């Protein structure tokens, strides 16, 4: 008995074995592969035309890989010369500016919706819900008349105001839904330690809402970057074009379409790892 007890005490703690995939889960993977293929199939022709792969595979194509690289470089140089580079700068400035404004204004508003229990907060939530459910296309004509009175038609600042107005309500709801999952006990502990309400909001709530902030930022960025209708409505001069209407002005160039898709893909690839954060999972242990 003593030897068995001593032997048992010397045994190292057993680690959790990795879970094996469940039987019958192969069809889920197959379904995901099929849906991914159907989604990417329309983009394959555009990418092939943009990269000149059809000409590379053609029989008797001269020069091989070096000629293909030179041809691709000429196409890129021709696409990014003239006003096209300015269109990318306009869209990037509008997208980043809208993201900053929506996050800065949406986080405190979402906190109020998640924590407030008064009639004023309920009325504010109803207004935000109505703004979110109202079709955005119906607001373009009134917004056009309003911006025309203040001389902001064909102005990037005016278009940025439109983007903020169209995306702020969604940003508030996204941030509010995540802030509601943050335990209020964390804020109460910060208040007992001497933090004010504003200090607890910055040090506790925002610290545990990084995935929600990044999700909101990517959503707003993609909305502004891919927009066509609002830019077509409010922008007139070629110098103020965004990439959405710039693609039409460029004759729907395949390589220009591929270049438009590069910034969102890069941003998502760089920020994707932050979505694996547990949010409040380690908040209690971090204290």
For residue range 241-250, list pLDDT tens digits in order.
Answer: 999 898 877 7
Instruction: Count CB atoms within 10 A of the CB of residue 217.
Output: 21
Is residue 54 a part of any domain in this protein? no
Instruction: Count CB atoms within 10 A of the CB of residue 91.
Output: 25
Is residue 272 a part of any domain in this protein? yes
Is residue 78 a part of any domain in this protein? no
Window from 21-30, 43-52, 148-157, 233-242 with minimum mean pLDDT: 43-52
Q: Please state the domain count of the chain.
A: 1
Residue among 189, 183, 172 nearest 208 (CA): 183
* Token digits of residue 72: 């691709």
pLDDT digits (tens, 9 = 90+) for 264-284: 888 878 877 765 444 444 444
Is residue 83 a part of any domain in this protein? no
CB neighbour list of residue 211: distance below 8 Å, 6 or more residues apart:
178, 274, 275, 277, 279
Is residue 64 a part of any domain in this protein? no
* Token digits of residue 106: 């949406």
Q: Report d(CA 211, CA 214) in Å as an integer.
A: 5
pLDDT digits (tens, 9 = 90+) for 200-244: 888 889 888 888 898 899 899 999 999 999 999 999 999 999 998
Domain span at residue 218 reads 88-279
pLDDT band at 22 (very low <50, low <70, confident <90, very high): low
Q: Report d(CA 64, CA 57) in Å as an integer.
A: 9
How close are the terminal C-alpha atoms of the chain, in Å?
43
Q: Report d(CA 98, CA 160) in Å as an integer.
A: 7
Is residue 249 a part of any domain in this protein? yes
Classify each residue of 27-47 as buried b or exposed e, where b means 16 or more C-beta atoms within 10 Å of its C-beta.
eeeeeeeeeeeeeeeeeeebe
Q: At what angle do helices 119-133 and 156-179 cross, to 10 degrees?
A: 120
Are the beta carbons of 172 and 113 closer than 8 angstroms?
yes
**pTM beyond 0.95:** no
Residue 69 has pLDDT above 50, yes or no: yes
Is residue 273 a part of any domain in this protein? yes
Give the domain CATH number at 151.
1.10.3720.10
Are the beta carbons of 128 and 168 closer than 8 angstroms?
no
Give whole-number Cα distances, 56 to 42, 62, 68, 69, 72, in Å.
Answer: 20, 9, 7, 10, 11
Is residue 22 a part of any domain in this protein? no
DSSP letters, 75-127, are HHHHHHSTTHHHHHHHHHHHHHHHHHHHHHHHHHHHHHHHH--SHHHHHHHHH
pLDDT digits (tens, 9 = 90+) for 115-124: 887 787 778 7
């Amino acid at each position: 008995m003593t030897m068995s007890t001593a032997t048992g005490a010397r045994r190292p703690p057993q680690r959790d074995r990795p879970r094996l995939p469940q039987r019958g889960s192969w069809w889920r993977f197959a379904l995901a592969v099929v849906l991914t293929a159907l989604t990417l199939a329309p983009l394959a022709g555009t990418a092939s035309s943009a990269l000149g792969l059809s000409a590379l595979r053609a029989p008797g194509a001269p020069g091989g890989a070096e000629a293909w690289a030179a041809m691709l470089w000429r196409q890129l140089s021709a696409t990014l010369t003239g006003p096209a580079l300015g269109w990318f700068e306009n869209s990037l400035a509008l997208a980043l500016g809208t993201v900053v404004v929506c996050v800065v204004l949406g986080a405190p508003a979402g906190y109020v919706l998640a924590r407030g229990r008064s009639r004023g907060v309920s009325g504010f939530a109803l207004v935000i819900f109505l703004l979110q459910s109202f079709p955005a296309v119906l607001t373009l004509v009134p917004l056009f008349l309003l911006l025309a009175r203040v001389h902001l038609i064909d102005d990037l600042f005016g278009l940025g105001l439109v983007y903020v107005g169209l995306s702020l309500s969604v940003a508030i709801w996204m941030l509010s839904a995540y802030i509601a999952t943050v335990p209020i006990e964390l804020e109460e502990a910060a208040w007992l330690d001497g933090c004010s309400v504003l200090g607890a909001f910055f040090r506790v709530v925002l610290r545990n809402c990084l995935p929600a902030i990044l999700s909101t930022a990517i959503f707003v960025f993609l909305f502004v970057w891919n927009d066509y209708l609002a830019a077509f409505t409010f922008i007139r001069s070629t110098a103020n074009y965004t990439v959405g209407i710039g693609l039409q002005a460029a004759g729907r160039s395949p390589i220009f379409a591929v270049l438009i898709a590069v910034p969102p893909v890069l941003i998502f690839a760089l920020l994707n790892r932050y979505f694996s954060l547990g949010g409040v999972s380690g908040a209690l242990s971090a204290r």
